Structure 1
Amino acid sequence: MLTLLTYPSAFGLFSASPFCVKTALMLQTSGQRWQRSDLLDPRKMPHQKLPVLRTPQRLIPDSDLIRDWLEAQGSDFDHGLSDLQKAQSRALIRLAEEHLYFQIVQDRWANDEVWPILYKTFFTGIPALIRKPVANSIRKNVVKGLGFQGVSRFSDAERKDRLERDLEAISAYLWQSTYLMGETPTSVDMSVAPMLAAMRATPANTPLTQRIKQDKLLSDYIDRMEQAIPLS
């Protein structure tokens, strides 16, 4: 049996990480037998991050590499799509994973309103004596990484403008069909929907969570995906 090494469930989602949710969705539709194993510290993993798929032969890091492996075993997450649709799918996946994701990280880790909740959610396993300095050090490194990536260098208004353009692009597809590439979920939905769900699930009433909750088109899409591919 395959084992998905994943961050634990949080905020009502299969995992706090949309990349872990993406991988779980792929596994659920692959026909492979699999189980989850929760981790909070990925430092011993191949890329020092999650998700990681444990197969009988080896550990496979990264959701894209896991997808490649599953497809090599016979899965087809884009069945019936044209070459143009597959290219559009690839572009939307990059939009979600290289831009929307960092909006989520900014909204959670750099937000003083959300941080106390993250602290209680993710760091309880650390001994009390060192918990606060370890947690603060990790937070500092995450926020520093947002500066390197660039999202934290923009003002709130600039970030909102960039986000709106992405959400408008996603919405343009959803006005045309039930899912992004048609009437059944494909690989792009398994990337985009978890990102939107993570935005909506952040445990504070931030402008980002409000933006998704108040958008019926996007919220209904998140709900449809959760119903179409349920994760236990």
Structure 2
Amino acid sequence: MLTLVTYPPAFGQPSGSPFCVKALYLLNLSGLPWQRKDTPDPRNWPKGKLPALWVDDEIIGDSDNIRTWLEEHGARFDEGLSDLDRATSRAFIRMAEEHMYFHIVMDRWGDKAVWPLVRDTYFSAIPALIRNWITRGIRRMLLKGMDTQGLGRLTAGERLDRIEPDLQAITDRLWHGPFLFGPTPTAADASVAAMLGAMAGTPGGTALSRRVREDLILTQYMARVAEALG
């Protein structure tokens, strides 16, 4: 039996991490039997990150590696897609995971009003009396990395302008069918819908979370993916 090690549910999503949600969606799409193990602590797993897939005495870390393993064991996530659609799918996945994701990070870790809600969810295992003290350095280091990456130097309004073309690209694809590449979900839906769900679920009512929640096309799409793969 495959075991997906993942962060617990949070903010109305199956997991507090969109990459864990992606892995969960891919496992359901694969048709293979699996079970779930929740933990708030990633330190004992590959590279200190989650999700991880536990297969007998082997542990596969990282959602991309999990996808590869599943495909090597029979999963066909992009069945029926043309070479052009496969290439576009890859681009959409990278857009979601290498750009949209970091907007979620800034929304959750960079917004001073949102951060306490996120901190008390992510680090609930740490006693409340010392939680702020312990997590202060973690947050400072993460935001320094976001400043180096560049997104951390933008205002909330500038970030919203930056991500709008991504959201529009998703919407444009969805005019052609219920999922990004036709009538059935594919690997791209697992990534993109997971990121959109994390955006919409961010607590505190940020400009980005409102933008996604108030978009009927995106919210209906997320609901379809959750029904098909959740």
Alignment of 1:199-218 (within 5 A): 199-218=199-218
Q: d(CA) in 1 for partners of 2:199 and 2:129?
A: 32
RMSD: 1.2
**Deviation >4 Å, runs of 4+:** none
- Residue 86 of structure 2 aligns to a residue whose secondary structure is helix
Residue of structure 2 equivalent to 1:28: 28
Residue of structure 1 equivalent to 2:142: 142
The CA deviation at 1:44 is 2.1
The CA deviation at 1:217 is 0.7
TM-score (ref. length: structure 2): 0.96
Superimposed CA distance per residue, residues 40-93 of structure 1 (whole angstroms, 9 cap, x where no aligned partner): 221222211111111113110110110000000000000110111000000000
Q: Which moved more, 1:15-24 or 1:124-133?
A: 124-133
Alignment of 1:27-46 (within 5 A): 27-46=27-46
- Residue 47 of structure 2 aligns to a residue whose secondary structure is coil
Residue of structure 2 equivalent to 1:178: 178
Question: 1:93 aligned to 2:93?
Answer: yes
Equivalent AA in structure 1 for residue 20 of structure 2: C
Q: d(CA) in 2 for partners of 1:82 and 1:76?
A: 13
- Residue 223 of structure 1 aligns to a residue whose secondary structure is helix
Alignment of 1:1-232 (within 5 A): 1-230=1-230
Structure 2: gaps of 5 or more residues: none
Q: Which moved more, 1:149-158 or 1:26-35?
A: 149-158
Superimposed CA distance per residue, residues 160-184 of structure 1 (whole angstroms, 9 cap, x where no aligned partner): 2210111111111011111100110
- What is the identity percentage for the equivalent residue pairs of Structure 1 and Structure 2? 51
Structure 1: gaps of 5 or more residues: none
The CA deviation at 1:222 is 0.6
Superimposed CA distance per residue, residues 195-228 of structure 1 (whole angstroms, 9 cap, x where no aligned partner): 0011001111110111011111111101111111
- Figure out how many residues of one structure are paired with residues of the other and give that number: 230
Q: d(CA) in 1 for partners of 2:22 and 2:94?
A: 13
Superimposed CA distance per residue, residues 17-57 of structure 1 (whole angstroms, 9 cap, x where no aligned partner): 11000000111121222111112221222211111111113
The CA deviation at 1:159 is 1.4
Q: d(CA) in 2 for partners of 1:72 and 1:198?
A: 28
Superimposed CA distance per residue, residues 106-150 of structure 1 (whole angstroms, 9 cap, x where no aligned partner): 001111111111122122211345322112122112212211222
- Residue 47 of structure 1 aligns to a residue whose secondary structure is helix
- Residue 46 of structure 2 aligns to a residue whose secondary structure is coil
- Residue 113 of structure 1 aligns to a residue whose secondary structure is coil
- Residue 77 of structure 2 aligns to a residue whose secondary structure is coil
Q: d(CA) in 1 for partners of 2:170 and 2:30?
A: 25
Equivalent AA in structure 2 for residue 148 of structure 1: T
